[in-house]
Structure 1
Amino acid sequence: MNQTKTTQVTITKALLKNANNPKLAWQIFRRVILNSPTTNPPLDSVPTIARILIRSKMLEEIHTLHSLLLSLKPRGNSHSSLTSLVKILAKSGLLDEAFSQFKSIRVHFHGDPPCIYLYNVLFECCVRKQHMDYLMWLYKDMVVAKVSPETYTFNLLIRALCDSGRLEDARKLFDKMSDKGCRPNEFSFAILVRGYCRAGLADEGLELMELMRSLGFSPNRVVYNTLISSFCRDGKTEDAEKMVERMREDGMFPDVVTFNSRISALCRTGKILEASRIFRDMQLDEDLGLPRPNIITYNLMLEGFCKEGMLEEAKTLVDAVTKNGGSLNLESYNIWLMGLVRNGKLVEAQAVLQEMVEKGVEPSIHSYNILIDGLCKNRMLSDARMVMDLMVDRGISPDTITYSTLLHGYCSNGKVFEANNVLYEMIRNGCSPTIFTCNILLHSLYKEGRISEAEDLLQKMNERGYDLDTVTCNIIIHGLCNCGKLDKAIEIVNEMWTKGSAALGNLGNFFVVPADDTNSKKKCLPDLITYSTVISALCKAGKLDEAKKKFTEMMGKNVRPDSFVYDNFIHSYCKEGKLSSAFRVLKDMEKNGCSKTLQTYNSLILGLGSKAQIFEIHGLLNEMRERGVSPNVCTYNNILKCLCEGSKIEDAISCLDEMQQRGILNVSSFRMLVRVFCKAGEFRVAQEAFKTALSMCGHKEGIYSLMFNELLLAGEVSEAKEIFEAALEKSYDLGNFLYKVLIDGLCKDEKLEEATGIIYKMIDKGYGFDPASFMPVIDALGERGKKHEADELAEKMMEMTSDGRVAHKISQNAGELVRRKQNKNGGSVWQDILHREDGSGIALKTLKRVQKGWGQGSISSLQAQKYDLLDYWEPGAEHRGNIKKKSRH
């Protein structure tokens, strides 16, 4: 017997000596077992070899070990070893392997039921893995094997039921414990109380605590802390305070866990001031026996401050920790980093990362990922790349999250080429892309309209065995809708219910092999986003009847709509002026529990504005204020449009004041106001609006061109000239400025010097502009007998044309104003200037003389145009660059 024991110890030592070489250890063990006498094999070393194999993830050898033990004769020799193997597998988290071998034991040793300890170990693993199917099978097997459960067994089962939300079943099992010969202990009560509190049923938890008292049990700190935390989370601070007092009455002083529970619950619900008061008491009222804050307390408060954007308070807290001789741990720094990043303090966040290194707290990959994510979201991609390079230099390899974050940053900014490089780098460094990574790139390709590349990526995903999920399908459906393939998108949605991801069918070179696994199909069913995407696309395309059919189908499939879905219908109806239909949708929306959003109100205001129903609009505004929905610039612009179209100037000014107070003005707001003020002859008010626009929106070209053009249209030439000269000084692009109207107006007002000055100033500033601008000035100079000046200006025009400094088009906005000017005057001002009925335009005569002397050929741009737009100057290419060499006439 002693020799056998010695042999067992020797084998175990040999296995441990070769633990770093698991294959050799396995060969040693197997050779010893196979060469040992069948009556007394050395099985004490089974736990040792099992742990070595599990640590090395040699699952195939573990299965061989199980088979080897089963083959031993007599079977009784291997029963305990097989049981030990199941326990070790379960405790290592290998639940599937543990259950497979446990079932094998039950088949081969059905007459020898397992002990309750083995069931408890398996129950523990089921609870950790939240695997209810295994747990229920195990419980039934325990009943069949007639193994009596312990109180600990019931506690595990109750915990599992509570964790899965089956509180009623948990309570029934709790009540039956006595019938099974087991008396609940304090842990039984604590588990059930926690289950009630997690489900938001703190009152039921309190009732259970009272039952606990009546049965002679004293609630422990776990029960009290659980109830206190739950009451705080539900906003029942008074009940929480009462529980603290009862805790003291029971002779238990609240510990730091109690206070941390209260602080955590308050911070989670945004009640940071109440949490701060408790934290302050812990710091100051040591004489009252309150526990001192620990690092968990500081981290909870730090996270609470950061979550609410209270960065000054968070910084004070961080400084207080170091000032009092304490030190922040890695979790503290990560919380602080996250707070800074979320609040846009990226420079400070980078400084914190450096501070961590200086203070000996090595940043984790999570620390770097936080900063990289913030930089990418703020489009600081080069900085994000530098942080990743720094991380690599410090010996930390980027993970899937790092690469995916950087990939998403490039894709969001339309840099698909750089995103592809990140993807290739990721694969090259052995970091396999996940379906999330591929979905990011796929979304970007569809967004950029690179359909063929997106389909190539889909093919690669399919070839490499990625399980396409609903997110993937939604990206494809959205991409198809955006590129006009709405019918194909709807076809995919229809087939997803039966085919899953195989509904994608044949897209380009991509083909999804139909999956036989039902679970795979369940992962790829249409969801709310799927239907929202299609309904939105149908509404935008004006196919409201088809959109309503998809809505009905969606309801029939038990996919509940949200406010976004309803908003699509409301906006479409309001846009078409069908207000009664829009309000019917609104009624159905509120009936189904969906609240009005800002988009809802904006759509309704747009629709009411088209009907000039100002009173009803003000009613909606009041409702928005009551419900805490803040109007945005779109809201006010819709109201402004209605007021301006109704010529309600005073109301428009009041609206402008309100927008100014809220700081939500934009150029579109002023465009409407300036137009209506100028149209009404309120030029002083228009000028004030212009100055306000500059102060609110900055000195932007669009604001200057807007005011300039509207003043010209209203005949206020002198005021327009001042604004235009200011625009020239700022070197703005002149595409939106009707400068030719200005020059013509100055000439008509006999302000020829000012008109000439404008032209020469534009030339001196290096502008390229339409040569037709010269015509009114040349014509006026000729009429005054100043032929030399007219010829000189004509020569200057020809020089500018030969240098290529000619603007060939005007913007859409400026073109619209030209048409408005033409409609007002009954024709094109440029036709009037260039093609007078008397044919005596000095400009044409001068140009013909220049043409004859310089051999320029025909000047086609001076012919009458088909459209009422500006004329263009197109000199022959063969003569460009030669004009400067000619002498003046």
Structure 2
Amino acid sequence: MDQIGKLRKALFGNAENPKLAWLLFKRVVLSSSPHPPHYARTVPVIARILIRHGMLPEIDHLVGRVIDSEASQASLLFIVKSLASSGFCDAAVSHFKSIRARFPDCAIAVFVYNALIDACLKEHRCVDGVLWLYKDMIGAGLCPETYTFNLLMLALCDAGRVEDARNLFDRMHEKGCSPNEYSFGILVRGYCAAGLVDKSFELMDEMKRSRFSPNVVVYNTLISRFCKEGRTDEAEKVAERMREDGLLPDVVTFNARISALCNEGKVLEASRIFRDMQIDKELGLPQPNKITYELMLKGFCKEGMWEEAETLVSSMKEKFGTMTLQSYNVRLLGLVRKGGLLDWQSLIDEMVSSDVEPSVSTYNIVIDGLCKKGMLRDARSVLRLMRSSGISPDTITYSALAQGYCSKGKILEAGDVIHEMMRNGCSPNIYTCNILLHRLWKEGKVSEAEKLLQKMNERGYGLDTVTCNIVIHGLCLKGDLDKAIEILDGMWSHGSAALGNLGNSFLALVEDSNFSKKCTPDLVTYSTVISGLCKAGRMAEAKRKFAEMISRNLRPDSAIYDIFVYTYCKEGKISSAMGVLKDMDKKGCNRTLQTYNSLAQGLAKKNQIFELYGLLDEMKDRGLSPDVFTYNSFIRCLCEVDRLKDAASLLDEMIQKGVLPNIITFKIIIGSFCKTADFASAQEIFEMALHVCGHKEPLYCLLFNELLLGGNIEEAKDLFRVALDRQLDIGDFLYVDLIKTICEDDKLKDANGIIDRMIKRGYVVDPAMLMPVLDALNERGNREEAEELANKITEMVSDESFVSGANQKIGRRLHSRRNAHKGSDWRTILHRDDGSGIALRTLKRVQKG
């Protein structure tokens, strides 16, 4: 065996001992100067060993020594390709550039460029690096392969430059290449990711004209995108076309459909598909997999269908043995949404007993739920438990805590969370900073918000679209719409650097132009500006911005349309609102509850009762249930035209359907009955309101004042005594008029009784209340009693400490009473004998007159 053979054998024998292999190679090969040319064949062997064990400094040394010899070019390119294929993208590109500089005429195969481009893609390198490799390839006189073009298009699509990818696709033939089915698939995925799903659909027709048949992956990509956009009808058409092409939808296809339905809240429909997959094997439907079960579990938990969720969990355990961490996290998220924040520990214990270790995401779900409920101390306790379990909090953990403090208006405490985060080696991200930024703008702390922006820039946080949206929203709240529009327009060309238009010297933002251009306006940006323009009455500008948004390929959603519907209805322009509805239907946007509530408000203002009934019917046809706002608009309209029995019938319908009437509902009806002097019906509705809403001051105040103005003095007097006994706030009660009226009726004893009751209950008695009593005593000739009362009035006026102390006393009492009397849960009321039963019986009597 020759010397080379012996060296190669020795290197292979020490493949698992790379340090010894490297020492052997250096001693035999690198110690010679110049290097023996015939030993170049051993370079790939040692390179493989070093790369396999990640010994990059040794690779650098090897390349530095071998690059001196022109005979070693092939070995160097082998090292570059091996580095790229092994995931060492930076080292591969760096050495490749050194080789190109040292040997500009070096013959390089296309597959080396392909390997480098592929490595860049896997490492999510910026597209500019990929394009440099392509240009260098062309400069080296090489013809790219179809595979090369596919890699380049993939890079452009991932960077959001799908039109550039399309241009490259169209120019493939200029380089002697033809697109293959993967080329079409990459473009389809790129268009879908960019929200241009219609172009993807057109591309499929082009694909067929090129004699390529779309595969299941292409179809599933389209179906998934249509489903994500809520365009389920189009998704069904694609699925049908898939069957016509002889391809059967697989479990991915069904999962996309189930996911879309669950996201739309149509869980029952998703459940029917899930059931069919389980039982209709003869139809050739795919069996549900773990992802299918997890999607259904997420849907059930999201809609509060807890029994169905638990049944599904049992099925999952039976079918798959143990549940995955993802499934447990979904269950935990459902438990938190259900309000079972005290039961989270038992579920985590179940995870541990099933050998499923809770992750940082598991604890983050609990901490986020506690923070959203304002239970910040409990959230801190979970954080301590998390650390004791050996799990370090991450950016999401601290961001949830910061969000919790911000929602309570505790900006300083939120800032402390950020500092704690950094002390523990966890860097805040743009999301964390945006939380603080949003709160500062919301509270009008503009200078503090600008300082935070400056710090974000100094620390290298790339400001994103959310950051710009927060600033734009803050400007709209301030009424500075022109500046908000200026930033929106600037975002298209300058990205987040458009924030420099705020006029702050620190915002020479975003040096990386490529990153900056990614920060473009989205639907939230436009909806914020359009909403601000509509509120300011600048409808023409709002419509221009809407048209601009569509021209920028941003597909309007129901929320933006609802802004126009609400504004037109508020202005009484019902016909214009109906025109918006037609455009919504054309664009495939579903009408929401907000849409119908705006219409109900507009129709009610014009007393268009017939149209309101039609609106209710249409809502039922579309599967939307009216809420209390819808009913209140309708009831107000009926009361305006004195159709009180119909209003009472609608209240009956609300109760029957489990829609909780609120104080506004009852105030409308009580006030209307009082207006027609039907005080008996008003009092019966009032009693029902107390059972539903509790003993609320606005209800007592309304009925008391109406009774008093209507001359029902005795009823008003009795109701006022009850209000005093319940220690309600009587600031809006016309009780001074009550005292005056009683005195005019010569019932001084009753007047004194009311005043004494007020004093005993801790209310501050306005001396002006006593003046009618004093006048009445004088008129009756009761000089001694009148003089005694006059002295009492004088003492009360002069005793400021008494007045102040009494005010504080009643303030404390009223505060505690307000906290003690919270509104009852409607579901509880439905099962109480003194709740809905009494409400319905009372309502029937009122309807019958």
What TM-score results when the alignment is normalised by the length of structure 2?
0.74
* Aligned 8 A contact 1:16 1:48 in 2: no
Specify every segment of 5 or more residues in structure 1 that has no aligned partner in the other structure, as ranges.
19-24, 248-253, 812-889
| Partner of residue 333, structure 1 | 328
Identify which of 646, 649, 653 aligns with 2:648: 653
Task: Tell me, yes or no, if structure 1 residue 776 matches structure 2 residue 777.
Answer: no
> Is 1:701 matched up with 2:697?
yes
Aligned-pair distance for 1:627?
A: 3.5
Cα shift at 1:517 = 4.5
Shift of 1:625: 3.5
Measure how far apart 1:422 and its partner are: 1.1
Aligned to 2:666: 670
After TM superposition, list the pairs within 5 Å mapping 1:828-839 onto structure 2. Answer: none
Q: Take 2:553 and 2:221, find their aligned partners in 1: how far apart are those partners? A: 36
Alignment partner, residue 817 of structure 2: none
Letter in 2 for 1:678: C
Partner of 2:64: 68
CA contact (8 A) 2:201 2:222 kept: yes
CA separation in 1, counterparts of 2:91 and 2:267?
Answer: 47
**AA at the equivalent of 2:605:** S
Q: Greater shift after overlay, 602-611 or 273-282? A: 273-282
Aligned residue type for 2:682? A
Query: Does residue 1:45 correspond to 2:20, yes or no?
Result: no
- Structure 1, 46-55 or 711-720: larger mean CA deviation: 46-55
Residue matched to 2:688: 692
Note if contact 1:769-1:806 (Cα within 8 Å) is conserved in structure 2.
no
CA distance in 2, matches of 1:672, 1:286: 57
Aligned to 2:423: 428
Cα distance in 2 for partners of 1:716, 1:54 equals 96
Aligned to 1:766, the other structure's residue is in SS state coil
The corresponding residue for 1:314 is: 309
Offset from partner CA, 1:419-445 (integer Å, 9 cap, x none): 112112112222111122111101101
Structure 1 residue 807 displacement after superposition: 6.0
Tell me the distance in 1 between the aligned counterparts of 2:546 and 2:190: 38
User: What is the Cα deviation at residue 658 of structure 1?
Assistant: 3.3
- Equivalent in the alignment of 2:383: 388
- State the shift of 1:367 in Å: 0.8
Answer yes or no: is the 8 Å Cα contact 2:251–2:287 preserved in 1.
Answer: no
**1:763 and 2:759 equivalent?**
yes
Is 1:470 matched with 2:465? yes
Q: How far apart are 1:5 and its partner, in Å?
A: 4.4
Aligned partners of 1:360 and 1:259: how far apart in 2?
Answer: 28
Distance 1:151 1:507 in 2: 48
Please name the residue that 2:92 is paired with.
Answer: 98
Cα distance, 1:307–1:134 mapped onto 2, change above 3 Å:
farther
| CA spacing shift, 1:313–1:498, aligned 2, 3 Å | closer
Answer yes or no: is 1:483 the counterpart of 2:484: no
- Give yes or no for contact 2:406–2:436 (8 Å, CA) kept in 1: yes
More displaced stretch, 370-379 vs 492-501: 492-501
Q: Which residue of 1 aligns with 2:435?
A: 440
Aligned AA (1:455): E
Candidates 350, 362, 366, aligned match of 1:355: 350
- Verify the 8 A CA contact 2:258 2:295 in the aligned structure 1: no
Query: What letter is aligned with 1:668?
Result: I
Larger mean Cα displacement after TM superposition, 38-47 or 167-176 = 167-176
Kept after mapping to 2: 8 A contact 1:268/1:304: no
Q: 1:745 to 1:482 in 2, by over 3 A?
A: same
Distance in 1 (CA, whole Å) between partners of 2:511 and 2:55 is 32
Classify the secondary structure of the residue corresponding to 1:505.
helix
- Aligned-pair RMSD on alpha carbons? 5.5
Name the SS for the 1:346 alignment partner.
coil
Corresponding position of 2:829:
none
User: Aligned pairs, how many?
Assistant: 781
Task: Note if contact 2:184-2:203 (Cα within 8 Å) is conserved in structure 1.
Answer: no
Give the conservation status (yes or no) of the 8 Å contact 2:77–2:112.
no
2:401 is aligned with 1:400: no
- Measured in 1, the distance between the counterparts of 2:378 and 2:28 equals 60
| Secondary structure of residue in 1 paired with 2:698 | helix
Q: Deviations over 1:718-769 (max 9, x none)?
A: 2222222222222222222222222223333343333222211111111123
**d(CA) in 2 for partners of 1:192 and 1:523?**
19
CA distance 1:523–1:66, change in 2 (3 Å): farther
Query: Against the structure 1 CA distance between its residues 545 and 175, is the aligned structure 2 distance closer, same or farther, given a 3 Å change threshold?
Result: closer
Deviates more, 1:7-16 or 1:287-296: 287-296
Over 3 Å counting, the alpha-carbon distance change for 1:8 and 1:537 in structure 2 is same
Partner letter of residue 443 of structure 2?
E
Partner amino acid, structure 1, of 2:462: D
Distance 1:220 1:578 in 2: 50
User: 1:674 deviation in Å?
Assistant: 1.6
CA contact (8 A) 2:348 2:358 kept: yes
Q: Which residue matches 1:540?
A: 535
8 Å contact from structure 1 (residues 500, 521) kept in 2: yes
Q: Structure 1 CA distance, aligned partners of 2:533 and 2:273?
A: 54
TM-aligned CA distance change 1:66 to 1:741, over 3 Å? farther
Deviation of residue 49 (structure 1)? 3.9
* Aligned partner (choices 715, 718, 725) of residue 714 of structure 2: 718
Change (3 A) 1:352 1:624: same
2:276, 2:594 → 1: CA distance?
45
Range with greater deviation from structure 2 (324-333 or 410-419): 324-333
Question: Residues 367-399 of structure 1, C-alpha deviation per residue, up to 9 Å, x if partnerless?
Answer: 111222222233333322222221122221111
Corresponding residue for residue 375 of structure 1: 370
Q: Any conservation in 1 of the 2:301–2:331 contact (CA below 8 Å)?
A: yes
CA 1:583–1:54 in 2, change beyond 3 Å: closer, same or farther?
farther
Q: Indicate conservation of the 8 Å contact 1:375/1:384, yes or no.
A: yes
Native 8 Å contact 1:158 1:173 kept in 2: no
d(CA) in 2 for partners of 1:711, 1:97: 88
Instruction: Give the 3 Å change call, closer, same or farther, for CA 774–684 of structure 1 in structure 2.
Output: same
**CA displacement 1:327-367 (0-9 Å, x = unmatched):** 33323312221232344433333431233234443211011
State how far apart, in whole Å, the 1-side matches of 2:261 and 2:98 are. Answer: 50
Distance in 2 separating the partners of 1:98 and 1:121: 10
Q: Which one of the candidate residues 746, 749, 754 is aligned to 1:753? A: 749
Contact 2:341 2:369 in 1 (8 A): yes
Give the stretch that moved more between structures: 723-732 or 517-526.
517-526
Taking structure 1 as reference, are residues 296 and 555 closer, same or farther at Cα in structure 2, changes over 3 Å only? closer
Instruction: Give the drift of 1:283.
Output: 8.8
Question: Residue 576 of structure 1: CA displacement?
Answer: 3.9
Following superposition, the deviation at residue 157 of structure 1 comes to: 9.3
Question: Contact 1:86 / 1:101 at 8 angstroms: preserved in 2?
Answer: no
Query: Could you tell me which residue of structure 1 aligns to residue 444 of structure 2?
Result: 449
The 3 A distance-change label for structure 1 pair 86 and 302 is: same
Name 2:524's counterpart in structure 1.
Answer: 529
